Homo-oligomer: A and B are copies of this chain.
Amino acid sequence: MIFVKHEKDVQPADLSAEHDLKGVELRPLITEKDGAKHFAMRLFRLEPGGYTPFHVHGWEHEVFVIEGAGQVVGEEGSQSLEVGTAVYVPAEERHRFQTGESGLVFLCCIPNVP
């Protein structure tokens, strides 16, 4: 059955146990719990000055910037993000998303982790 939900009605994930991040809100929009078999869609909001952990993991990210501006930082430097930028972060590549005064809102899809 087709379902719709507004992101404002999705409870943000509890990130209180996470380290090396600032001003990050993560809403899991569509996940395995919804019956999504292959990948999950999450919405991230970074407050002005916010950043995600500089971390590495065994799955890729596919990202699209919806509001604001910022950078994706990898081991080989940083690249600018603006509304309309798509980002591919391969598995096993260290990365961080960060923003300045503007804040940053982006969608981030990941495969269901085996």
Contact = CB atoms under 8 A, between A and B. Distances in A.
B41 A76 contact: no
The 4 residue pairs across chains A and B that have the minimum distance between CB atoms:
A29-B86, A38-B111, A2-B74, A7-B84
Contacts of A76: 1-2
Interface string A25-49: 0000110001111110101000000
A77 to B, nearest CB: 9
Classify chain A: how many residues form its interface, as a range: 35 or more
A87 to B, nearest CB: 5
Contacts of A36: 60, 62, 88
Contacts of A85: 4-7
Given A38-B39, A60-B37, A64-B107, A86 B2 contact: no
